[in-house]
Amino acid sequence: MNLQQKIYKRLLEVPKGQITTYGALAKAVGLKNGQRVVGQIMNKNPYPVIIPCHRVVMSTGKIGGYAYGEHVKTKMLNDEGIQIKNGRIVNLKNILYRF
């Protein structure tokens, strides 16, 4: 299994209504300081409907980028019950998935 597959497999564990961070996902697959690598892999996700890359946010609570635009990511997260205010996740610690 290559790195991309490992990352996607771990991301599939994150349920609707919860999020993870780029850094936490990197650590979950054994990458130290691999946030950028995770971001690059998320950006190239060929299966955004299946692999929920919209559930990966920045550790600061900012929603971060999305290949289809931040407004689409915001809507998808809102549709899953995640509140966003001024581009940041509300109650980040309460909805953060722990690997």
Tell me, rounded to whole angstroms, the distance of Cα 32 from its chain centroid: 17
Active-site annotation, residues:
53
- The whole-angstrom separation of Cα 64 and Cα 2 is 24
Q: CA angle 98-80-41, nearest 5°? A: 60
- The whole-angstrom separation of Cα 5 and Cα 23 is 17
For CA atoms 26, 15, 85, 78, the dihedral sign is: positive
